[in-house]
């Protein structure tokens, strides 16, 4: 540990500069002292009532510096899409600060990340690392059906490095069969249970693509396994998240898709969800469009269109609706996969659950969904969220896959504003923490990596912090009324909006909207208060009536 | 169905299928045609009727309404279809005003009630509220008999220094005689917003009276040495007008004016822009990309932004610089009305209240002669005169309500309701092209006023987030006009495509809650007075929870829901209905299922509920 701290010290050439001016959009300018620590950029001023700036280095996506005489300007662009400016007098100080920020924000050694150094200043009521254990989730499933079992076949992560140690599989298939199936699926991701629809017993499974290759390899065990999830005489749907031609091309690289001849009880549907590298480009273009301050409507609309972001939202949401439709309306089981089964597949399976399962629309239920369908399911968060929209480097594995999922959830939330226990702030919070956080939850790329890093022992879980009354109050939706029904969102382009809370968050003053939200909370609370008073008075009167017969009016 | 009793039935066709335009949904029913309604679709709402070629299931009939409803019928027998089609064509093109619904509409009110309805808005009182007449502005009787300008109202306000010869001379130098008059007075800075039509300047003509008129307006404001002249047209259009002997003010001839073009397009551009927009948004299975490209190429939001930009310019000139502004376009009844009205709305919180908004429309649109009859195609007129100018104004207001959710007393339902009735011709307010014509038609005696009706329905049009304190703190609104602040107004252009709207409405939920609170307050008061009588100490003793508590609460809730449920619903009300749209390639399987599940009456009733009153 000491060694690491030494290392930080080496990177920080100038730890402190006075007289630095901070510019932030829609906020007053602050002048103060800039301090660099191993993990933070801090600007504090001695004036009262001015907000200090605490910025995690890991939140910094890119920086730019320029000089006007000896006055240096550093533009800091953050992963949460905020852009701030620092004015530093003195060329040397400015250059030192800039190069330190650059170095500190691009450290890629996981064990140097802030979560390993962060000590909570709050009381942990419930340790988030234990809140969503697979064995507990499985208990709920057991109460509904006995057709599935928890397998430990992957307990040392050897069969599938991106799967958790425990997975739910059809009861009648032993671990030996699973091992055979794993060899036939991309990344060893054999079909596992993603969701059980209590209403009709239909299931949603997910997997990696089958490794059919060009010569149409098949795997009897794989065929049997997925057939076993069908009810007698019923058909199922395989939702391939790639366009048919993309899936065809995958054959040349050893991948492929399920041939109808080999899976006669399954109907395959191809939906074109973009692959992760394309999505990154889309994010960059969208953010660029949102930061364009030109007053031309045509330019804005054409840039918005060219970014394809809204198209991606629509495609993902449509595919999720389709999966949900197959399960709920068709009474059919569904298998979802793309190529690796760690990106578009998870978008679809998790969104379908939001639509189908009211439980996922609660705060805890949504956390559990993120835990199950994203963290445990092996979405490579560390790779995908290494850089955001302002990065100058060529993207390798970066992609806003999770952000798109959150965007889709927000779209559904907009359409059913009373059916979610959480509000938009919760979704924004998850976006922020996926990219930069003091908590260990989103570190690493898989359950295996997290186990190796000993995250539960060495870091604090985001859920530990969120699930405290003071945080929950800020994140809960005052309009929430449990809605036990399936909710079908509209996917018409006219119904899908740009998520301003993320993409225009720093480009507009949210004061008016925030005040209106406060007013709404006030109206709801006032109503509750009144109802309580009325009821208590009524009860008192009723009691008096029974006590004193003279009060009975003739 | 109450209509059947006293309305003559033209035509009745059984076994008609009504198709949903975005899904494969359809319902069966009977189609009725009366003199004024097609199963309660007012004929006046109908913009066009189209008979498509025969298909196996019957003969399709597509009706496009002016409130952006599109109805797609399938009628089994072609003969019936043709009957409906030709009857409709005959019915929806009245040749004289007396055929319009307003003249037969009878809300069961007596003459006194009707008269009171018309007296609700008093423009004389409105100018008084602004502080006019005053030492610089006076009421002139020059147009008492519509002699100087027949498209202006009788009562006009001009600078005290503007003599009759100046006024008359100026009017002769202005298109249609529409000389500069006061429309809004910003008391705080004594700055005036005036309006007129373009000058007949041609390439070099000038008019001393007109120059004096502008000088008088300028001099009436001691806060500023100059007067802004805003020509709301694109410069090219104004230049082209010079060839026809019209044009714009030459800065050299007028002392102390600052001339400014703001570039709002003309009625023809706006008409085709809306047409393009509707074409795009009416496409089935529209892709996101086609939607955004279509939105851009229609230019609609660009035009909306141009109007708001102009209003912001006007507002800044008046409230920040304290300068007076003269606004005009060509005739001064379209763009000028848009900009003056929107500017006043930004400057004066009164116009953001329900009553104030009615006054604003009455003043800048109705009295100053926006040609509602022509623009909304009330009679069988020139299709080139039709244009969605007023709709654009309502949309601009909606865009502002999105940026300032607490600044307006009314919600978008109010705007939609006004739009509805501008086209329904059910009330007299918007009939005709100007005040003179309205007097000739004796509308106040023969028809009812929309404002009275809307006032009686006020509760349904309230914005629950409205805060008078906010208006006090921010009397002048300063909207951002960056492009991303302008959104497609789904509630207007897809008003009737229910599947596109949120299934739960925050607006409606909060309105209901507020209503509940209001009721609970009075219950509480009643209960408290009873308990004071009985000398119970005020609610201190907490009693254990009993089962009855929830029941009671529920009762209150249901009651209130019912009372608002009978009113209009724009955004679907509950999340309980499942959306039967196809998300992909499972078609076929669904159709059979749909027909079986959907009862015919429900959807039809929904469709018409909002049209009738």
pLDDT tens-digit series, residues B371-404 = 999 999 998 889 999 999 999 999 999 999 999 9
Query: Is B558 at the interface with chain A, CB within 8 A?
Result: no
| Beta sheet of B181-186, edge-to-edge order | B181-186, B191-196, B324-328, B227-231, B257-261
Q: What is the mean pLDDT of residues A169-180?
A: 95
Query: Is B283 at the interface with chain A, CB within 8 A?
Result: no
Over 50: is that where the pLDDT of A540 sits? yes
For chain B, positions 462-491, list CB contacts with chain A under 8 A. 464-465, 467, 470, 480-488, 490
Query: Is B259 at the interface with chain A, CB within 8 A?
Result: no
Over 50: is that where the pLDDT of B610 sits? no
- Residue B319 CA to residue B437 CA, distance in Å, equals 36
Q: Is B96 annotated as a binding residue?
A: no
Give the model's pLDDT for residue A542: 84
For chain A, positions 519-548, list CB contacts with chain B under 8 A. 519-520, 523-524, 526-527, 530-531, 533-541, 543-544
In chain B, helix, strand, coil percent, each to 5? 50, 15, 40
Give the model's pLDDT for residue B574: 35
Asked if A489's CB is within 8 angstroms of B579's CB, the reply is: yes
| Nearest by CB: B404 against A487, A504, A512 | A512
B134 catalytic per annotation: no
Give the model's pLDDT for residue B557: 30
For chain A, positions 65-104, list CB contacts with chain B under 8 A. none
Q: What is the mean pLDDT of residues B173-178?
A: 97
Summarised one tens digit per residue, pLDDT across range B437-476 is 999 999 999 999 999 999 999 999 999 999 999 999 999 9
Which residues make Cβ contacts (< 8 Å) with residue A216, sequence separation at least 6?
A: A256, A259
Asked if A540's CB is within 8 angstroms of B517's CB, the reply is: no
Over 90: is that where the pLDDT of B51 sits? no
Kindly state the percentage of chain B with pLDDT values over 70. 83
Chain A residue numbers touching B299 (CB-CB < 8 A)? 298
- Residue A344 CA to residue A405 CA, distance in Å, equals 9
**In terms of DSSP bridges, do strands A202-206 and B37-38 run parallel, antiparallel, or are they unpaired?**
unpaired
* Catalytic option among B329, B340, B376, B396: B329
The pTM (predicted TM-score) of the whole model is 0.91
Please indicate whether residue A549 or residue A14 has the higher confidence score (pLDDT). Answer: A14
Q: For an interface test with B, which of A290, A534, A545 has the most B Cβ atoms less than 10 Å from its Cβ?
A: A534
What backbone phi and psi angles, to 5 degrees, belong to A83?
Answer: -125, 125
Over 80: is that where the pLDDT of A4 sits? no
> Closest chain A residue to B490 measured between Cα atoms?
A494
Q: What is the mean pLDDT of residues B580-584?
A: 55
Give the model's pLDDT for residue B53: 67
Give the model's pLDDT for residue A330: 92
Give the model's pLDDT for residue B6: 45
Q: H-helix or E-strand containing A280? A: helix A276-290
Q: In this structure, what DSSP letter does residue A203 have?
A: E
Q: For residue B371, what are the CA distances in angstroms to A452, A554, B151, B378? A: 76, 66, 9, 10
Query: Is B544 at the interface with chain A, CB within 8 A?
Result: no
Kindly state the percentage of chain B with pLDDT values over 90. 64
Q: What is the mean pLDDT of residues A171-194?
A: 96
Give the model's pLDDT for residue A549: 59
Summarised one tens digit per residue, pLDDT across range B89-144 is 877 778 889 888 899 888 888 889 999 999 999 999 999 999 999 999 999 999 99
Summarised one tens digit per residue, pLDDT across range B225-247 is 999 999 999 999 999 999 999 99
Q: For an interface test with B, which of A410, A490, A547 has the most B Cβ atoms less than 10 Å from its Cβ?
A: A490
CB atoms within 10 A of CB B55: 9
Distance of alpha carbon B18 from the chain centroid: 28
Asked if A504's CB is within 8 angstroms of B583's CB, the reply is: no
Range of lowest pLDDT (B190-194, B341-345, B368-372, B576-580): B576-580
The CA distance from B553 to the nearest CA of chain A, in Å, is 7
Long-range contacts of A546-553, Cβ-Cβ distance < 8 Å, separation of 24 or more: A551/B534
Q: For residue A342, what are the CA distances in angstroms to A86, A352, A462? A: 39, 16, 22
Q: CB–CB of B386/B377 below 8 Å?
A: yes
Please indicate whether residue B15 or residue A17 has the higher confidence score (pLDDT). Answer: A17
Q: In this structure, what DSSP letter does residue B464 have?
A: T
Kindly state the percentage of chain A with pLDDT values over 70. 97
Q: In this structure, what DSSP letter does residue A34 have?
A: E
Long-range contacts of B559-565, Cβ-Cβ distance < 8 Å, separation of 24 or more: B559/B519, B560/B512, B560/B515, B560/B516, B560/B519, B561/B512, B563/B515, B564/B460, B564/B508, B564/B511, B564/B512, B564/B515
- Residue A441 CA to residue A459 CA, distance in Å, equals 8
Give the model's pLDDT for residue A437: 97
Chain B residue numbers touching A300 (CB-CB < 8 A)? 483-484
Chain A residue numbers touching B556 (CB-CB < 8 A)? 531, 534
Over 60: is that where the pLDDT of B555 sits? no
Q: In this structure, what DSSP letter does residue B58 have?
A: B
Distance of alpha carbon A281 from the chain centroid: 19
Q: What is the mean pLDDT of residues B171-190?
A: 97
Asked if A524's CB is within 8 angstroms of B513's CB, the reply is: yes
For chain A, positions 275-304, list CB contacts with chain B under 8 A. 290, 293-302, 304
Give the model's pLDDT for residue A36: 94
Summarised one tens digit per residue, pLDDT across range B404-446 is 999 999 999 999 999 999 998 899 999 999 999 999 999 999 9
Give the model's pLDDT for residue A552: 52
Q: What is the mean pLDDT of residues B31-41?
A: 70
Q: For residue A70, what are the CA distances in angstroms to A89, A92, B64, B189? A: 6, 9, 67, 45
Q: What is the mean pLDDT of residues A542-551?
A: 71
Give the model's pLDDT for residue A548: 66
Distance of alpha carbon B529 from the chain centroid: 45
* Beta bridge pairs of residue A395: none
* Closest CA relative to residue B336, chosen from B368, B374, B305: B368
| Nearest by CB: B405 against A302, A513, A531 | A513
Q: Is B285 annotated as a binding residue?
A: no
- Band (pLDDT 50/70/90 cuts) for residue B43 is low
Cα–Cα–Cα angle for B401, B405, B410, rounded to 5 degrees:
65
Q: For an interface test with B, which of A315, A535, A542, A545 has the most B Cβ atoms less than 10 Å from its Cβ?
A: A535
Q: What is the 3-state secondary structure (H, E, C) of B544-605?
A: CCCCHHHHHHHHHHHHHHHHHHCCCCCCCCCCCCCCCCCCCCCCCHHHHHHHHHCCHHHHHH
* Closest CA relative to residue B48, chosen from B22, B69, B29, B18: B69
Range of lowest pLDDT (B106-110, B222-226, B496-500): B106-110
* Closest CA relative to residue B120, chosen from B441, B540, B456: B456
- Mean pLDDT, all residues of chain A: 93
Over 60: is that where the pLDDT of B201 sits? yes
B391-409: b or e for each residue (b if 16 or more CB lie within 10 Å)? bbbbbbbbbbbebbbbbbb
Give the model's pLDDT for residue B547: 37
> Closest chain B residue to A271 measured between Cα atoms?
B584
Give the model's pLDDT for residue B107: 84
Query: Is B526 at the interface with chain A, CB within 8 A?
Result: no
Q: CB–CB of B375/B432 below 8 Å?
A: no
Summarised one tens digit per residue, pLDDT across range A107-135 is 878 889 999 999 998 988 889 999 998 88
Range of lowest pLDDT (B101-115, B182-196, B382-396, B584-598): B584-598
- Residue A499 CA to residue A505 CA, distance in Å, equals 9
Over 80: is that where the pLDDT of B57 sits? no
Q: What is the mean pLDDT of residues B68-78?
A: 85
Summarised one tens digit per residue, pLDDT across range A281-292 is 999 999 999 999
Over 80: is that where the pLDDT of B559 sits? no
């Amino acid at each position: 540990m000491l060694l690491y701290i030494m290392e930080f010290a080496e990177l920080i050439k100038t730890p402190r500069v006075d007289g630095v001016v901070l510019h932030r959009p829609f906020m007053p300018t602050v002048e103060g002292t800039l301090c660099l620590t191993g993990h933070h950029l801090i600007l504090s001023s001695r004036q009262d009532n001015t907000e200090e700036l605490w910025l995690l280095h890991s939140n910094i996506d890119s920086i730019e510096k320029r000089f006007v005489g000896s006055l240096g300007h550093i533009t800091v662009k953050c992963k949460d899409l905020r852009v701030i400016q620092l004015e530093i007098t003195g060329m040397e100080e400015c250059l030192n600060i800039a190069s330190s920020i650059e170095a500190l924000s691009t450290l890629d050694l996981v064990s140097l990340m802030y979560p390993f150094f962060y000590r909570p200043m709050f009381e942990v009521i419930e340790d988030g690392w234990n809140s969503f254990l697979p064995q507990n989730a499985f208990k709920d499933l057991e109460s509904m059906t006995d057709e599935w079992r928890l397998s430990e076949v992957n307990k040392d992560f050897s069969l599938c490095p991106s799967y958790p140690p425990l997975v739910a599989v059809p009861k009648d298939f032993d671990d030996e069969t699973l091992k055979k199936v794993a060899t036939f699926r991309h990344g060893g991701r054999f079909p596992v249970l993603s969701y059980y629809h209590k209403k009709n017993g239909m299931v949603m499974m997910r997997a990696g693509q089958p490794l059919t290759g060009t010569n149409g390899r098949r795997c009897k065990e794989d065929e049997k396994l997925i057939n076993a999830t069908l009810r007698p005489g019923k058909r199922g749907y395989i939702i391939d998240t790639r366009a048919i031609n993309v899936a065809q091309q995958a054959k040349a690289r050893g991948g492929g898709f399920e041939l109808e001849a080999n899976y006669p009880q399954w109907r395959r549907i191809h939906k074109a969800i973009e692959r992760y590298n394309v999505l990154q480009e889309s994010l960059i273009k969208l953010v660029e469009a949102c930061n364009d301050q030109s007053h031309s409507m045509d330019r804005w609309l054409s840039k918005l269109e060219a970014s394809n972001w809204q198209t991606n939202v629509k495609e993902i949401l449509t595919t999720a609706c389709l999966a949900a439709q197959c399960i709920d309306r068709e009474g059919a089981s569904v298998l979802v996969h793309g190529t690796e089964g760690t990106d578009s597949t998870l978008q679809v399976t998790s969104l379908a659950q939001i639509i189908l399962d009211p439980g996922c629309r609660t705060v805890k239920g949504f956390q559990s969904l993120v835990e199950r369908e994203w963290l445990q399911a092996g979405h490579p968060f560390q790779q995908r969220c290494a850089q955001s929209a302002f990065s100058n480097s060529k993207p390798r594995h970066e992609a806003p896959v999770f952000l798109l999922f959150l965007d889709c959830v927000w779209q559904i939330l907009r359409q059913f504003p009373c059916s979610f226990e959480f509000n938009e702030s919760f979704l924004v919070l998850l976006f922020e923490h996926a990219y930069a956080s003091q908590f260990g939850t989103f570190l690493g790329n898989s359950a295996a990596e997290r186990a190796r890093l000993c995250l539960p022992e060495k870091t604090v879980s985001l859920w530990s912090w969120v699930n405290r009354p003071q945080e929950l109050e800020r994140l809960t939706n005052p309009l929430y009324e449990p809605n036990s029904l399936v909710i079908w969102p509209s996917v018409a382009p006219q119904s899908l909006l740009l998520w301003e809370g993320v993409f225009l968050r720093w480009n507009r003053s949210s004061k008016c909207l925030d005040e209106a939200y406060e007013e709404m909370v006030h109206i709801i609370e006032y109503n509750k208060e009144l109802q309580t008073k009325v009821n208590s008075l009524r009860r008192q009167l009723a009691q008096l009536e029974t006590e004193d017969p003279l009060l009975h009016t003739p | 169905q109450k209509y059947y009793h006293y309305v003559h039935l033209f035509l009745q066709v059984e076994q008609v299928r009504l198709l949903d335009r975005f899904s494969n949904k359809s319902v069966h029913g009977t189609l009725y045609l009366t003199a004024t309604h097609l199963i309660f679709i007012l004929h006046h709402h109908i913009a066009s009727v189209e008979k498509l070629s025969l298909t196996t299931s019957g003969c399709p009939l597509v009706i496009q309404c002016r409130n952006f409803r599109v109805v797609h019928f399938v009628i089994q027998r072609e003969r019936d279809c043709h009957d409906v089609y030709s009857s409709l064509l005959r019915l929806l093109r009245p040749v004289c005003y007396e055929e319009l619904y307003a003249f037969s509409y009878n809300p069961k009110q007596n003459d006194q009630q009707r008269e009171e309805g018309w007296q609700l808005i008093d423009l004389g009182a409105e100018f008084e509220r602004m502080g006019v007449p005053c030492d610089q502005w006076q009421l002139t009787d020059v147009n008492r008999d519509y002699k100087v300008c027949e498209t202006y109202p009788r009562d006009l306000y001009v600078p005290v220094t503007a003599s009759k010869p100046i006024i008359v001379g100026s009017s002769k130098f202005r298109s249609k005689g529409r000389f500069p008059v006061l429309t809004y007075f910003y008391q705080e800075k004594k700055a005036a917003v005036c309006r007129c039509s373009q000058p007949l300047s041609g390439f070099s003509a000038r008019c001393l009276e007109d120059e004096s008129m502008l000088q008088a307006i300028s001099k009436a404001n001691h806060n500023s040495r100059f007067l802004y002249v805003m020509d709301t047209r694109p410069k090219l259009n104004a230049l082209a007008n010079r060839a026809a002997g019209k044009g714009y003010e030459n800065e050299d001839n007028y002392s102390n004016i600052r001339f400014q073009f703001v570039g709002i397009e003309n009625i023809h551009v706006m008409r085709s822009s809306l047409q393009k927009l509707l074409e795009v948004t009416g496409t089935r299975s529209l892709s996101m990309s086609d939607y955004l490209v279509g939105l851009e190429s229609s230019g609609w939001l660009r035009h909306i932004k141009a109007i708001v930009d102009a209003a912001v310019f006007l507002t800044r000139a008046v409230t920040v610089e304290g300068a007076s502004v003269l606004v005009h376009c060509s005739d001064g009844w379209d763009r000028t009305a848009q900009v003056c009205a929107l500017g006043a709305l930004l400057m004066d919180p009164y116009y953001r209240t329900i009553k104030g908004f009615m006054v604003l429309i009455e003043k800048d649109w109705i009295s100053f002669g926006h040609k509602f009859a022509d623009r909304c195609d009330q009679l069988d007129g020139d299709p080139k005169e039709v244009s969605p100018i007023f709709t654009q104004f309502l949309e601009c207001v909606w865009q502002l309500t999105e940026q300032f959710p607490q600044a307006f007393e009314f919600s978008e339902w109010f705007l939609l309701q006004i739009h509805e009735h501008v086209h329904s011709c059910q009330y007299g307010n918007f009939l005709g092209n100007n005040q003179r014509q309205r007097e000739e038609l004796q509308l106040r005696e023969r028809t009812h006023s929309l404002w009275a009706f809307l006032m009686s329905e006020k509760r349904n049009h309230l914005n629950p987030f409205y805060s008078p304190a906010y208006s006090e703190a921010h009397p002048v609104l300063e909207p951002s006009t960056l492009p991303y602040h302008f959104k497609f107004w789904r509630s207007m252009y897809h008003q009737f495509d229910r599947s596109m709207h949120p299934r739960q409405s925050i607006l409606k939920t909060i309105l209901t809650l507020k209503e509940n609170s209001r009721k609970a307050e009075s219950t509480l008061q009643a209960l408290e007075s009873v308990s004071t009588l009985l000398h119970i100490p005020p609610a201190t003793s907490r009693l254990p929870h009993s089962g009855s508590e929830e029941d009671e609460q529920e009762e209150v809730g249901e009651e209130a829901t019912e009372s608002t449920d009978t009113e209009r619903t724009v955004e679907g009300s509950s999340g309980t209905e499942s959306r039967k749209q196809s998300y992909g390639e499972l078609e076929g399987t669904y159709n059979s299922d749909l027909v079986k599940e959907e009862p015919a009456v429900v959807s039809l009733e929904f469709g018409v509920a909002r049209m009738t009153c």
